[in-house]
Amino acid sequence: MNQEIDIQLPHNITLTVKREDLLHPHISGNKFRKLKYNILQAKAEGKTALLTFGGAYSNHIAAAAAAGKEYGFKTIGVIRGEELVNKIGDNPTLSFAKGCGMTFNFVSREAYRQKTDPVFIEALKAKYGDVYILSEGGTNALAIQGCEEILTPEDDVFTHVCVAVGTGGTISGIINSANPHQQVLGFPVLKGAGLSADILKFAQIGNWQLVEGYHFGGYGKVTPELIIFMNDFFEKAGILLDPVYTAKLFFGVIDRVNKGLFPQGARILLIHTGGLQGIAGMNNELIRKKLPVIKT
């Protein structure tokens, strides 16, 4: 569903939001797209359990747990941070995943870094049996195939398609399905290089670009300015954003519109990739740090 935003913008520019956050109540946004063909593949392979990886507030962990419950798979989450083992009840994401039936394997940050190492994977298979393994963030070729379904032919009217970038899976699907006249802009939410190379593994050559400068300190980091922007946007447009991905995207796009970095009359489509389950965990942190909280 596309929703045009009624806020005053210069240069005759319009903003429209693709509400992927409304796709499913618990398997949110792009994580639904990324899981869809993987779930079908796991079924085709006769697998009964899904194993995947993530951090304490991971949207992917929440989505994989909910998808397992809905589609009849056991789920195992390899979670970064051993200290979380006694804190599941304090963590909204992990509590939710546990409620969906997910089994956790908490590992140290050092061990977590080996998450793609074949030896580590073999050890997990020895422990949990013949599981279907999804990488961190769920990005693989089948995930890209799912993300190619985000844009539809009706979206050809837009001149620009803007999306938040984590691992680069979602933008790859969008690049592959965009019309050649459209420019795809990715807003990385983390510091550091290597994303373009990851995107090029899955995406065709196309009219796309990464826009740096809107990570707000790095992955999962926020500033009071970002929170104030989110609350203001929610009040004006009635659309709730998540602090890790979509808030940074929307801030970046609106900032660049105001700076005159989009052409006159641009029709911009922003992808709301979901992730709203992360707000509760972020607000706990913000309260602890006595910072402004996200209004919902």
Ligand X SMILES: *Cc1c(COP(=O)(O)O)cnc(C)c1O
Binding region for ligand X (CB under 6 A) out of 71-79, 92-100, 211-219, 241-249: 241-249
The Cα–Cα gap between 127 and 180 comes to: 47
R_g (Cα) of the chain, nearest Å: 19
As a 3-state breakdown, the chain gives helix, strand, coil percent values, each rounded to 5, of: 45, 15, 40
For Cα atoms 155, 160, 161, give the angle at the middle one, nearest 5 degrees. Answer: 65
Binding mask 108-147 for ligand X (x = CB under 6 A): -----------------------------x-x--------
Q: Is 58 designated active site? A: yes
Nearer CB in complex with ligand X: 75/172? 172
The Cα–Cα gap between 139 and 146 comes to: 10
Output the smallest distance, CB 207 to ligand X, in A. Answer: 18
**Residue with smallest beta-carbon separation from ligand X:** 275
Amino acid identity, residue 293? V
Nearer CB in complex with ligand X: 77/275? 275
Please state, in angstroms and as integers, the Cα–Cα distance from residue 188 to each residue in 17, 130, 286, following that order.
Answer: 18, 35, 22
The Cα–Cα gap between 101 and 263 comes to: 49
Choose which of 68, 166, 220, 243 interacts with ligand X (CB under 6 A): 166
Binding mask 59-88 for ligand X (x = CB under 6 A): xx----------------------------
Binding region for ligand X (CB under 6 A) out of 49-57, 101-109, 169-177, 256-264: 169-177
Residue 92 touches ligand X, criterion: CB under 6 A? no
Binding region for ligand X (CB under 6 A) out of 3-11, 97-105, 166-174, 207-215: 166-174
The tokens for 123 are 């050890």
Residue 164 touches ligand X, criterion: CB under 6 A? yes
Residue 241 touches ligand X, criterion: CB under 6 A? no
Nearer CB in complex with ligand X: 229/245? 245
Mutual orientation of helices 59-71 and 29-44 as an angle, nearest 10°? 50
Q: Which of 58, 108, 135, 196 is catalytic?
A: 58
Nearest to 172 by CA among 194, 138, 150, 147: 147
The strand pair at 14-19 and 2-4 is best described as antiparallel
Binding region for ligand X (CB under 6 A) out of 75-83, 150-158, 164-172, 261-269: 164-172
Nearer CB in complex with ligand X: 124/163? 163
The strand pair at 132-133 and 49-54 is best described as parallel
Residue 31 touches ligand X, criterion: CB under 6 A? yes
Amino acid identity, residue 263? P
The Cα–Cα gap between 101 and 176 comes to: 35
Choose which of 38, 140, 170, 231 interacts with ligand X (CB under 6 A): 170
Choose which of 75, 93, 140, 167 interacts with ligand X (CB under 6 A): 167
For Cα atoms 97, 68, 86, give the angle at the middle one, nearest 5 degrees. Answer: 25
Residue 55 touches ligand X, criterion: CB under 6 A? no
Sheet holding 14-19, edge to edge: 2-4, 14-19, 267-272, 160-165, 183-188, 208-210
Residue 155 touches ligand X, criterion: CB under 6 A? no
The residues that are catalytic are 58
Task: Return residues touching ligand X (CB under 6 A).
Answer: 29-31, 59-60, 137, 139, 164-171, 242, 245-246, 273-275
